[in-house]
Structure 1
Amino acid sequence: MVGNMAHYQRIDNCLVLVAQTCYCLTMNNWSVGYEAIRTYVRFAFWLSHKRVVVTGRNNIPNGKPIIFAANHQNALMDPLAISCTNSLQSLWLARADIFKSKAARSFLKYIKMLPVYRIRDGKDNLSNNEQIFGQVIQLLEDKQSVALFPEAAHSGKRQMLPHRKAIPRIALDAEAKNNFALGLQIVPVGINYSHYWQFSRTLIVHYGEPIEVDRYKNAWNENPQKAMLSLRDEIHDKIIPLTIQINSQTFYQEYEDLRQLAGETYSKTKHFDKDNTLNRFYAEQELIARIELLENTQPEQFGRIIDETRKYFQKIKENHLTDEQIGKAGKAKWARLFVQITAGIITLPVFVLGFVFNAIPFFIPREIFLKKVKDTAFMSTFNFVAGLVLFPVFYLIGVSLIFALTGSSVISIVSFILMPFAGKLAFSLLQFYKNILKCLITKGFNNNQIKQLTQQRDEVIRSVLKATS
């Protein structure tokens, strides 16, 4: 009986090994299908962002196993930010609850994603992580790349959550299994959005200097648990400089308001180029750090600035205005507005053409389905994924109508190619028209009231600049 049990146990072990090997072969190979999907997604990603800036690609090692460790603020858009800005076909570890349906499991496997189980997925499922981590280690041994988020959850804020031990555990287990000769590198990544769910935002992706895991050999031999905690802390400390980090829990919104309010002026006073996306990022990063120092060293002065900020934003809210409108109020001269309105009229036919073929797939998820999304961090993800499906469908409908009207294959094909670009241009023009309308609305307000709000705004900015100089 004991012999039979041992025999069946060996068979089970062999089956598990075969399954792991087959799975790794699927994940290991460069996939044409994956690359085709990524090319389409990358194009859509470019269309949905105003600007994408990437730094530090030279920090991604060649010919070595890699773990990308990034901050996590914006659901699915974060892995796309990494996958669309480097050439590697990385394996992603994602929360297990998105693998529930058979269709989802098949597709996610195809695009090289594996589940990671948490306590909330049931204690019985935690043991499945052993097999998953084993597959990941096999991939790393084959000098492949893996990506996951050390926070294990998204925050929806410029504020990192506490790091978990998944990355240190995988990294150190992989190196220990190979006598610390694997050459594994952990590349910290900072993902920064100008806004989390608005269309046509700015995205900055920083790839930091890699962490060489073999440096932890002695620490691992002395105390594996302590080594994991040390590596976890180093990953955290390496990601922080690549992001805008607001540490305050109590005054988070006020920090965010001050960043938007004083960021541009602070950038100018520090001799940064105001039109340079990266320099604006560094200026805001420095501004937040100085405000935080002010909070810790001069709490009374900090408190006065917070009160001024709250009063200003409360006042513009009561008047149904925005800070952007007040900031541009002084520049909104009638002569300039006349030129802008003239330009708006001239470009209107171009806008209409782009709007007709893109409006329905653009607004359907935003106006109908998005109301059901409870977690705001998923808004951008929902819009993007819905757009991947809806836009091609409506483009095909549009092309069919064009072909029916013209009978020309050439015109139909050219129209299909131009439709997404026309949509991006139409959105830019829509923003242009909205800005004109906002300026006209501002002009319609009591002039003394606008002056008062402008003075209040300038006073807050002066207080911040003086306190942080």
Structure 2
Amino acid sequence: MKRIWLYSMRLYLRLGLFFYFKKVEVRNAENIPKNEAVMFLGNHQNALLDALLIATKNGRFSYFLTRAAVFNKPIVSKVLQSLQMLPVYRIRDGWGNLNKNNVVFSKSAELLHKNEAIVIFPEGSHNLKRTVRPLSKGFTRIIFETIENYPETTINLIPVGLNFQNATKFGDTALINFGHVIPVTKSIIEDKNKSVIQLKASVFDSLTKLTTHIDTENYDLVHEKLKDLNVDFTKPEQVNTCIENNFNNCETYKSGKNKHIKRLLKCLLIINLFVPYLIWKTIAEPKIKEIEFTSTFRFAIAITLVPFFMLIVMLFFGLVFQIKFAFIYLLNVLLLALLSIKL
């Protein structure tokens, strides 16, 4: 039953992401080991959507180390745990809760020993800034515990660059950039301190190549210049080269044509889904305290309230008029969604 639930949820989330993003490009997913221990290590810009994109595009049923704060509500906690998410506690969650991480890290080590896949965001928090922030050593702690308890285990580290043209925008474009495998064996425990430094440096270096990396020094100035040039942030290699070459020969982002038509189609889509849209605009969006959660909450409404509202409208048309009008409404909404997002 668990496998059926995971397959069903992955399929549903893939469908939701298909309608949410204009385009999602995936690179190098074919290099991901299928039956070996894997630890995906991604940069973290777009809150829960980062995890969902990796979950639906890596070809594995992965476990996710997730900030404990999102597990506060019992119903939400049960859903997240059913999706193989494990809570990780930070200092802001209270010093007394930090010891709970011991159980989670031991569980993670056991999963890697069983050749499962784990997703970790080693920056420790999300941030919209287009820079790879210093990595915490939490992922190295899991690596050492795995190797010490199961010395014959080889852990395949895979850095993942998550790239968004505009992370808070509906109908955005994204790139999931899987890096080269970094194999880790029992030789790392010979000098732990040196290994921690090397592991963090290797993953950090890989991430700076898999996503746009602007140094924190002069970040605002460089970022504004890139926005003025309208670069394509889903092509991180080109953007990083643009920065290195002092903004010479930078390729621009090719935005879609027919903007007026898209705007009209979006208005028609909103009219057909006016109740979920009003809930989003008047209730959900104003309560968002961290801008990084904008797309997460919008996507949550898109895959929960929108289908529910559409079902109610279809029942109304089917009962009051004829069943064909219910399907006409369904096809109308789907067509408007596709055209307004994909054009």
Instruction: Judge same fold: TM > 0.5, yes or no.
Output: yes
User: Equivalents in 1 of 2:170, 2:111: separation in Å?
Assistant: 36
Superposition pairs of residues 129-144 of structure 1, within 5 angstroms:
129-144=101-116
Structure 1 261/292 Cα, relative in aligned 2: closer, same or farther at 3 Å?
A: closer
String of CA shifts for 1:311-370, please: whole Å, max 9, x gaps: xxxxxxxxxxxxx9xx99xxxxxxx9xxx79x959x96x777644323442353134431
Superposition pairs of residues 280-429 of structure 1, within 5 angstroms:
280-291=235-246, 354-408=269-323, 410-413=324-327, 415-416=329-330, 419-426=333-340
The Cα of 1:110 is off from its aligned counterpart by 0.6
Residue of structure 1 in register with 2:199 after alignment: 231
Asked if 1:199 is matched to 2:170, the reply is: yes
Task: Report the AA paired with residue 112 of structure 2.
Answer: L
User: Equivalents in 2 of 1:351, 1:162: separation in Å?
Assistant: 40
The Cα of 1:406 is off from its aligned counterpart by 3.3
Q: Contact conserved, 1:59 with 1:187, CA < 8 A, in 2? A: no
The Cα of 1:87 is off from its aligned counterpart by 2.2
String of CA shifts for 1:111-148, please: whole Å, max 9, x gaps: 11111112222222222111111111111111111111
Q: Contact conserved, 1:168 with 1:228, CA < 8 A, in 2? A: yes
Residue of structure 1 in register with 2:100 after alignment: 128
Residue of structure 2 in register with 1:255 after alignment: 222
- Give the helix-richer structure, 1 or 2: 1
Q: Contact conserved, 1:65 with 1:141, CA < 8 A, in 2? A: yes
Residue of structure 1 in register with 2:214 after alignment: 246
**Higher RCO (C-alpha 8 Å, min separation 6):** 2
* Counterpart among 129, 144, 147 of residue 119 in structure 2: 147
Q: Secondary structure at the match of 1:68?
A: strand
User: Equivalents in 1 of 2:341, 2:34: separation in Å?
Assistant: 39
Residue of structure 2 in register with 1:162 after alignment: 134
The Cα of 1:153 is off from its aligned counterpart by 0.4
Count, aligned residues:
338
Identity over aligned pairs, percent: 26
The Cα of 1:291 is off from its aligned counterpart by 3.1
- With structure 2 as the length reference, what TM-score do the two structures score? 0.88
- With structure 1 as the length reference, what TM-score do the two structures score? 0.66
User: Equivalents in 2 of 1:227, 1:351: separation in Å?
Assistant: 52
User: Equivalents in 2 of 1:53, 1:367: separation in Å?
Assistant: 33
* Counterpart among 9, 23, 34 of residue 62 in structure 1: 34
Superposition pairs of residues 421-460 of structure 1, within 5 angstroms:
421-426=335-340
User: Equivalents in 1 of 2:269, 2:247: separation in Å?
Assistant: 45
User: Equivalents in 2 of 1:372, 1:188: separation in Å?
Assistant: 33
User: Equivalents in 2 of 1:106, 1:355: separation in Å?
Assistant: 32
Q: Contact conserved, 1:94 with 1:114, CA < 8 A, in 2? A: yes
Q: Secondary structure at the match of 1:291?
A: coil
User: Equivalents in 2 of 1:30, 1:368: separation in Å?
Assistant: 34
User: Equivalents in 1 of 2:267, 2:88: separation in Å?
Assistant: 47
Q: Contact conserved, 2:39 with 2:156, CA < 8 A, in 1? A: yes
Structure 1 204/426 Cα, relative in aligned 2: closer, same or farther at 3 Å?
A: closer
Residue of structure 1 in register with 2:143 after alignment: 171
User: Equivalents in 2 of 1:184, 1:219: separation in Å?
Assistant: 11
Task: Report the AA paired with residue 356 of structure 1.
Answer: I
Structure 1 421/88 Cα, relative in aligned 2: closer, same or farther at 3 Å?
A: farther
String of CA shifts for 1:168-201, please: whole Å, max 9, x gaps: 111122123222x212101110000000101011
Structure 1 414/243 Cα, relative in aligned 2: closer, same or farther at 3 Å?
A: same
Structure 1 52/400 Cα, relative in aligned 2: closer, same or farther at 3 Å?
A: same
User: Equivalents in 1 of 2:226, 2:278: separation in Å?
Assistant: 30
Structure 1 427/42 Cα, relative in aligned 2: closer, same or farther at 3 Å?
A: closer
